Amino acid sequence: MPADRGGLADPDAIETLFARGVTDGLPVVPPTRERVRRAIEATGRDGSELIALVPPNYGRATVEKIAINAVMAGCRAAYLPAVVAAVAAVCDDAFDLHGVSATTNAPAPLLVLNGPVRGALDVNCGAGVFGPGWRANATIGRAVRLVCVNVGGAVPGVVSMSTLAHPGRYTYCIGEHEEASPWDSLAVEHGFAPGRSTVAALAADAPLGVYDHASRTAPDLLATIAASLAVIVNHKMTHWGDTLLVLSPEHAATIAGDGWGKPEIRRFLHERLQRPVRELVPGRDGGEGLPEHVLRKFADPGRDATPIPKFRAPEHLKIVVAGGRAGRFSAIVPGWSFAHGSSLVFRAIDAP
């Protein structure tokens, strides 16, 4: 796909790439041979090396093909090791990219970067972490999306049939604000050394903001967060899987100030986010509810007080600290967990 003729850039390359249908609706950088060569070199790998088969069409994501899409996304060559690791993560079976790409739901691959790579690439972890203005965040996430479309075949409106989708399908990439966190990072929690650069991938809906300016204790603040968690997907959804809780530094400091760590946060939220069977009968206070095969386990569901959890286990609540140091705001990023659903997947970032 490199867009040059005899070494000279095609003056109409941008329009040509639009015509080929290989963009995300925004202009892309023409992937000249020289740009792609520099990107491949930054990985320390051979361009023909196969990184993954990309669902749903199981196209071959070689280093060269990933580099082409990363160049089109606007990545600097130095970003390529992170992009390669992210592509490997979303193609892991546990991520279920086939389901993510073809569902009528709205998930998009959310990338969370940890470790020294954040500083090396100038990844935004602070103010405006989900927003624009940072090349690394914008283009690394965009590169993965272009790989999903151009290599995996997840063309919007053709294969990717999300009813609504959300803007994260352009790009969805953040860094954890490890320096502002009172706890171990997401990557360290999952077994990586503090000095290791990693990327985690979660099939995720758009962030849901949680505002709480008044709470000054962990239980009060987490009660606010629990009430917001209770309504993700719908207010009667149960047994949900991996979901990301993004705590701002101020909110994290409030919770840690009471001596609470991530295990205490998860335990509090999991216990609070349970409802009795009688409130989860379909057609009562909303059409959704427990599926028939679950209701059959109870002799009189309409009166049964057995508590049913919102999340399958506390461990499905994944916690990071991100965002600016000023402002008592946090966010919930619902994962995609229908059937077996998608799980948070990690890959180490290996740079030459």
Q: Which of 10-14, 35-39, 307-311 has the lowest mean pLDDT?
A: 10-14
Confidence check: pLDDT of 7 > 80: no
Query: How sure is the predictor about 183, in pLDDT bands with cuts at 50, 70 and 90?
Result: very high
User: Tens digits of per-residue pLDDT, 237-254?
Assistant: 999 999 999 999 999 999
- pLDDT cut 70: percent of the chain above it: 96
What per-residue confidence (pLDDT) applies to 337?
83
Read off the pLDDT band of 3 (50, 70, 90).
very low
Strand 345-348 to strand 274-276: parallel, antiparallel, or no bridges (unpaired)?
Answer: unpaired
**Mean pLDDT over the full length of the chain:** 95
> Once rounded to an integer, what is the mean pLDDT over residues 171-199?
98
pLDDT of residue 9 exceeding 70, the answer is no
User: What is the mean predicted confidence (pLDDT) over 67-87?
Assistant: 98
How high is the pLDDT of residue 330? 98
* pLDDT at 109 exceeding the cut of 80: yes
Q: Which two three-digit tokens encode residue 53? A: 């088969």
The per-residue pLDDT for 352 is 82
The encoded tokens of residue 289 equal 């509810």
Residue predicted with more confidence, 214 or 7: 214
| pLDDT at position 64 over 80 | yes
Share of the chain above pLDDT 90, in %: 94
Instruction: Average the pLDDT over each of 139-143, 227-231, 340-344 and give the range with the smallest value.
Output: 340-344
Q: Is the pTM of this model over 0.85?
A: yes
291-341: per-residue pLDDT in tens?
999 999 999 999 999 999 999 999 999 999 999 999 999 999 999 987 667
Please enumerate, as own/partner, the contacts of 216-220 that have beta carbons within 8 Å and a separation of 24 or more. 216/254, 217/254, 217/258, 218/254, 218/255, 218/257, 218/258, 218/260, 218/264, 218/265, 218/268, 219/258, 219/268
Structure tokens given for 350: 């290996």
pLDDT(10) > 80: no
Tell me the per-residue pLDDT of 195-225, one tens digit each, with 9 for 90 and over: 999 999 999 999 999 999 999 999 999 999 9
Q: What local confidence, expressed as pLDDT, does residue 338 receive?
A: 73
pLDDT at 5 over 80: no
How many residues does this entry show for the chain? Answer: 352
Q: For the range 128-132, what are the long-range contacts, defined as Cβ-Cβ under 8 Å and sequence gap of 24 or more?
A: 128/323, 128/324, 129/174, 129/175, 129/177, 129/246, 129/322, 129/323, 129/324, 130/174, 130/207, 130/331
pLDDT computed for residue 1 by the predictor: 53
Please confirm whether the linkage preceding 56 is cis (ω < 30° from 0). Answer: yes
Count of CB atoms situated within 10 Å of the CB of 119: 12
